[in-house]
Amino acid sequence: MRKILEKLFATLAIIIGLYPAIYFLVDRKFGLLQTKSEELLSNFGWNVAFYTHIILGGVALLIGWTQFSRKLRDKNIKLHRTIGKVYICSVLLSSVSGMYIGFFATGGLWASIGFISLAVIWFTSTLIAYLTIRKGKVDIHYKMMIYSYAACAAGITLRIWLPLLTLLTKDFVSAYLITAWLCWVPNIAIAYLYIRRNNNSLKPNLS
């Protein structure tokens, strides 16, 4: 059962990780962007932040799940580290740009606080993961990476919750306000419970 769930999660991560490509294949005025003003959509700074966020966030989601593969770490530690560096750089840039576009979130202040909080947690956990592995603190690094990818996986849970809540509430903005928190708070809670339950076994050998 666990392997089935892992494969399902990896499949979702790959699909959602590639999702940003759709913005380059069709008219981007669909979905969430339909709620944005023409003035905002034409703003250079917002566009730079938006595309940085979705493209690098997609990269992080696409590759991040591989970092928890013991087989990869054991067989090719150099590849593990290379992917890790790409992941960390992608997250740091995507989270900072996410903080910026969070100020313009559809739904106003409540949604903005939700998404900005997510971006701060994503940035902080990833930065700590990087700094601790540089100091050889593997156990802390691994736990922080779990939190980091739990925050990253908000990209998946958002696309599950938003259409469901829109269907239930019959109102996109109301659904979006709820999703601004629901897409990441349970993820972090699950990560916390997982770390607490498996604390003694979360010490991978990265030497």
Rounded Cα–Cα distance for residues 88 and 38 (Å): 33
Answer yes or no: is 65 within a domain: yes
Answer yes or no: is 90 within a domain: yes
* Top-confidence range, 13-17, 103-107, 125-129: 125-129
Query: Taking the model in full, what pTM does it have?
Result: 0.89
Answer yes or no: is 194 within a domain: yes
pLDDT confidence of residue 207: 47
Average pLDDT over every residue of 195-199: 86
Q: Quote the domain boundaries for residue 161.
A: 2-201
Binned at pLDDT 50, 70 and 90, residue 33 comes out as confident
Q: How many domains does the chain have?
A: 1
Q: Of 37-46, 88-97, 120-129, give the lowest mean pLDDT range.
A: 37-46
Binned at pLDDT 50, 70 and 90, residue 203 comes out as low
Answer yes or no: is 206 within a domain: no
pLDDT confidence of residue 132: 96
Answer yes or no: is 196 within a domain: yes
Average pLDDT over every residue of 97-115: 95
Tokens standing for residue 204: 């991978």
Binned at pLDDT 50, 70 and 90, residue 98 comes out as very high
pLDDT digits (tens, 9 = 90+) for 8-21: 878 888 888 888 77
Answer yes or no: is 207 within a domain: no
